[in-house]
Amino acid sequence: MNADMPGNSVNAPGAESAQTPERSEPGQASAARVAAVVVLAAGAGTRMKSRTPKILHELGGKSMVAHALAAARGLAPERLAAVVRHERDRVAEHIASVDPDAVIVDQDEVPGTGRAVEVAIEALDAVVAAEGGSLAGTVVVTYGDVPLLTTGLLAELVREHEAGGNAVTVLTAVLDDATGYGRILRGGDGTVTGIREHKDATEDERAIREVNSGIYAFDAAVLRDALKQVTTENAQGEKYLTDVLAIAREAGGRVAALATTDRWQVEGANDRIQLQALAAEHNRRTVEGWMRAGVTVVDPATTWIDATVCLAEDVTVKPNTQLHGATVVERDAVIGPDTTLTDVLVGEGATVKRTDGTKAEIGAGATVGPFTYLRPGTRLGPEGKIGAFYETKNAVIGRGAKLSHLGYVGDAEVGEGTNIGCGNITANYDGVSKHRTVIGAHVRTASNTVFVAPVTVGDGAYTGAGAIVRKDVPAGALALSVAPQRNAEGWTEANRAGSPSAAAAARARTAAAHARDTAETSQSAASPTKEEGK
């Protein structure tokens, strides 16, 4: 509900839908095509206390206005307009990126939702007139901060509106506690006779649980003519969209309502508390939708799945897992626990646990984790492995290759069947430029090998423990870094006098000397004398 509308105490409790697998298909929303949808997106949203415009705050992986636009576009309207004002350029750019066909309309200095819709109709009339037509039929008005409203509910509103031949049809909600909301007043025939603000309602009227959502379907001609009659002669000095209802009724038009018991679909967000409540409900619906579609979610309470994620049947999602962006998980894969994936493709039957991954690909049957960091450009082949405490970046890892533990592979290629030993790293940065390491197929590298890029290791090669590979290694060769070991006796006591290490060294030296003396004494006692030898 919009704060500048009588009968509404909070901003637009309409909302775009959680995009579960059962979402309505675009173009299937209503029997008649909607002439236009107007999305009001001009508010400042000061209660968010944010540099980010309210409608650009996100839930479920998309901005609130992106959810709202998706629900509106699902009606397949002939025209879609978005009215902007606060942070105009930033909001308009975002809307254009989400829905390039949306008509961006600027609200002028006249405040109020009535004026916002009026400038939208004027702009749409001009667009349609330029194409040789006129805007006629059903016009739906909704809001940019209503992220759980579904195309399906909007379609019901349109069907109710058109079936009744209504001038105006208002979407209403039935609440357990309607305190603060404008009550819907109905006549004996069920039509809407008015909207009474809570503060002006009688005790009997306050008992009404049906409230105004601020979302409407209008006949375009009725809306156009009525808006011309709406004035700013009120305490707020604004043009109220709700005034259209009374004007339409006085002109003999039928004003009706469609009530929903799903309050979340008509809830907006004015502050971060309300936004979080909507985000939690959106996620609950999304997670439940995937479970209905054949996904096992072990702990829904700790699982977050964006609206843009795609999961196959028989995927298992374990606790404390977040799936974001364009992540796709194929059948029989197991994700989690304690895993966050953003824009990651996970192949069939793969296992990913205790991992943070972004813009990576994990092949079928591969295993990742625990405690693994997949940076952008990582591509792990089928049956491959990236194990514990590993970081990868811009790396192509072949089928069946294994990077088991404690290492870093960046700007590299690792061939099929290669086994990278513990503690290996690719030294890819020389302080100015990144360089590439190429490791062939079926290579075996020993612990603590360092590949100083650019360098190439041929197929079937081996490295020795602690090798520093600075030169290319031919196929089948053994790369060693061998230097004689030199022990500087007494170094600790001489250079770290008074330290625990020096004290331990002194004790060990004394004990060793004592052991030698004891051994020598024992050997002398056991040796025969000259007389005994005669």
Known binding residue 45? Answer is no
Known binding residue 143? Answer is yes
The 10 Å CB-count burial string (b at 16+, else e) for 62-82 is: bbbbbbbbbbbbbbbbbbbbb
For 516, residues 6+ apart whose C-beta sits below 8 A from its C-beta are: none
Known binding residue 434? Answer is no
Known binding residue 145? Answer is yes
Known binding residue 283? Answer is no
Known binding residue 493? Answer is no
Known binding residue 460? Answer is no
Known binding residue 375? Answer is yes
Q: Report d(CA 310, CA 477) in Å as an integer.
A: 45
Q: How many CB atoms lie within 10 A of CB 108?
A: 10
Of the candidates 286, 296, 220, the one whose C-alpha atom is nearest the C-alpha of residue 253 is 220
Q: Report d(CA 192, CA 270) in Å as an integer.
A: 27
Known binding residue 144? Answer is yes
Q: Is 472 helix (H, G, I), strand (E, B) or coil?
A: coil
Known binding residue 521? Answer is no
Known binding residue 476? Answer is no
Q: What angle do CA 215, 268, 227 make, to 5 degrees?
A: 30
- The partner residues of 39 in beta bridges, in order of sequence, read 82, 142
Measured in whole angstroms, how far is the alpha carbon of residue 476 from the centre of its chain? 46
- Cα-flanking dihedrals φ and ψ of residue 101, to 5°? -90, -5
Known binding residue 419? Answer is yes
Known binding residue 404? Answer is no
Query: Which residue is catalytic, options 57, 405, 442, 514?
Result: 405
Known binding residue 465? Answer is yes
Known binding residue 166? Answer is no
Q: How many CB atoms lie within 10 A of CB 133?
A: 11
Known binding residue 112? Answer is yes
- Examine the residue annotation and report whether 282 is marked as an active-site residue of this protein: no
Type of residue found at 26: P
Whether the Cβ atoms of residue 79 and residue 127 lie closer than 8 Å to each other: yes
Whether the Cβ atoms of residue 343 and residue 361 lie closer than 8 Å to each other: no
* CA-derived radius of gyration, the chain: 35
Known binding residue 393? Answer is yes
Whether the Cβ atoms of residue 95 and residue 73 lie closer than 8 Å to each other: no
Which residues have a catalytic role annotated? 405
* Binding-site entries for Mg(2+): 145, 270
* Binding-site entries for UDP-N-acetyl-alpha-D-glucosamine: 40-43, 54, 107, 112-113, 143-145, 182, 197, 212, 270, 375, 393, 408, 419
* Binding-site entries: 40-43, 54, 107, 112-113, 143-145, 182, 197, 212, 270, 375, 393, 408, 419, 428-429, 447, 465
* Binding-site entries for acetyl-CoA: 428-429, 447, 465
